């Protein structure tokens, strides 16, 4: 069980950078089973310049991408080990199924991602992802990812 992965280690695992790095911290990770992480949503997010200037709402596609990045960290650490930060390996997002958006996410929210492994066979991972604000479910989806070079 890994308790915390900070942003310095996250950027060693994920290839994403500002403005598309959408997970700030991993708060728990159980290899091959589950992961929890979060992103603090601030008015300074670049996306709010256009979505929407008069009523800032964090886009659902960004919530899904944040879930995928969090799940990617779970797959990466599970496949390559707790201490790994191998820059030669990537996790590729393959599909989104059963996505539902239940509530708006706005500046000031702490968006918590919780993912559990549904299936894992070879390099392919299927994850059940949920996103919460203040323990309220705001989005969910089934995500599929693949490990690669």
Map out the domains of the chain as residue ranges: 7-148
Catalytic residues: 51
Considering the chain, what is the average pLDDT of its residues?
A: 94
Mean of the pLDDT values across residues 94-119?
98
How large a percentage of the chain has pLDDT more than 70?
96
Would you state the pLDDT for residue 14? 92
Q: How far apart are CA 86 and CA 102, in angstroms?
A: 36
Would you state the pLDDT for residue 82? 67
Mean of the pLDDT values across residues 104-125?
97
pLDDT per residue as tens digits for the range 6-61: 999 999 999 999 999 999 999 999 999 999 999 999 999 999 999 999 999 999 99
Element containing residue 75 per DSSP (H, E):
helix 60-80
pLDDT category at 1 given cuts 50, 70, 90 is confident
Q: Which CATH architecture has domain 7-148?
A: Roll (3.10)
How large a percentage of the chain has pLDDT more than 90?
87
What 8-state DSSP symbol labels residue 16?
Answer: -
∠ CA 101-102-108, rounded to 5°: 95
């Amino acid at each position: 069980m890994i308790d915390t992965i900070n942003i310095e280690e996250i950027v060693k695992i994920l290839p994403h950078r500002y403005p598309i790095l959408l997970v700030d911290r991993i708060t728990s990770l159980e290899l091959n089973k589950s992961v929890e992480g979060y992103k603090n949503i601030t008015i300074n997010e670049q996306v709010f310049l256009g979505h929407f200037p008069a009523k800032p709402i964090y886009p659902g596609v960004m919530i899904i991408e944040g879930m995928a990045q969090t799940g990617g960290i779970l797959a990466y650490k599970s496949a390559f080990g707790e201490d790994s930060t191998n820059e030669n390996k990537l996790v590729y997002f393959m599909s989104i199924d059963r996505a539902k958006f239940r509530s708006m996410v706005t500046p000031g929210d702490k968006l918590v991602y919780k993912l559990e492994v549904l299936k894992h066979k070879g390099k392919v991972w299927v994850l059940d992802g949920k996103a919460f604000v203040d323990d309220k479910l705001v989005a969910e989806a089934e995500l599929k990812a693949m490990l690669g070079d």
